Amino acid sequence: MTRTSHGPVAVLGLGAMGAGLAVRLLDQGIPVRVWNRSADRTAPLAEAGAYVAADPADAVAGTSAAICAVADGEALGSVLRGPGGALTKGAYPGVLLCASTVAPEEVVQIAGDVPQILDMGMLGNRDHARDGELRLFVGGEQQAFDAARPLLQTLGKEVVHLGALGSGMRMKLLLNLLMGIEVQALAEATELASACGLDRQQVLKTIAGSGFASPVMAFKSRRLASARFDEPDFRLRLMAKDLMLATKQAAAVGLSLPLATAAAETHVRATEQGLGDQDCAAVTRALAPKPGTDT
């Protein structure tokens, strides 16, 4: 195995992607310091050799780069500037990589007094993160990007510098917009098929093997076929959040995006129905026929 020479890296947030990134770094022989709000997720990484920090400030101590991979803007603000936050002991001297999907404006606000900060949109799932197969879309100053390039190339098979800070989040939001609409379209077609008496499994097999199916549709069709939405690849509530962020971005520039708006509403409704911590393909459960409907 080719190993990368790099100083210690902090990983703040150990959800599916954060944990995958930490494993990748450890596999490459890079010292890793981890922190997570719920400590139970740190145990496997501790066994693999990571240092488990008491708080974000402890995690970033002595590191050359810090990756924030938390759920939303509120969590990101808390991790960076809340009690024990990564930035509470003065300016961070390394490169801060925001891998949390938040509004682009939030990243710019966070930048404030951080000398080197990048926003990093990640395309891929937990397996891609663990295996260094992500596609990474990065925004920020050229100097910060150049400093982080060796680390980024360790984490991703493709690394693209898009331009100004916030660009990475804009790319990530439009990619998640596409995924949210595609998965909902797949779910709608499947529910219509079932309601009209077609065999659900046959319909999903047909769609997955057709020219209409994107790779994500083919992948999510297996979720719909099994009706297993636990152990999510991407939580439904996070998709709802990202779709809402995308519609707000559109409104800010005067665009009307009817499909994105409809998908956001469906995902928010599904989250309110208690499906938020299931895989985003569970949006299908928000589309079930209403009781008493003739089919």
Average pLDDT of the segment spanning 97-122:
91
pLDDT of residue 1: 44
The Cα-based distances of 96 to 71, 142, 207, 254 in angstroms read 17, 14, 42, 32
Q: Which residues of 23-62 are buried (b: 16+ CB within 10 A; e: fewer)?
A: bbbbbbebbbbbbbeeeebbeebeeeebbbbebbbbbbee
Among 127, 129, 131, 111, CA closest to 119:
111
Express each pLDDT in 138-186 by its tens digit: 999 999 999 999 999 999 999 999 999 999 999 999 999 999 999 999 9
CATH 3.30.565.10 fits 170-286, yes or no: no
The Cα-based distances of 129 to 14, 25, 147, 149, 276 in angstroms read 12, 10, 21, 16, 22
Average pLDDT of the segment spanning 128-145:
97
pLDDT of residue 295: 43
pLDDT of residue 78: 93
Class of the CATH domain delimited by 9-165 = alpha beta
Express each pLDDT in 24-39 by its tens digit: 999 999 999 999 999 9
**Out of 106-115, 233-242, 254-263, which region has the weakest mean confidence (pLDDT)?**
106-115
Domain regions of the chain by residue span? 9-165, 170-286
Structural contact between residues 59 and 34, judged by C-beta atoms closer than 8 angstroms: yes
Q: What is the mean pLDDT of the chain?
A: 94
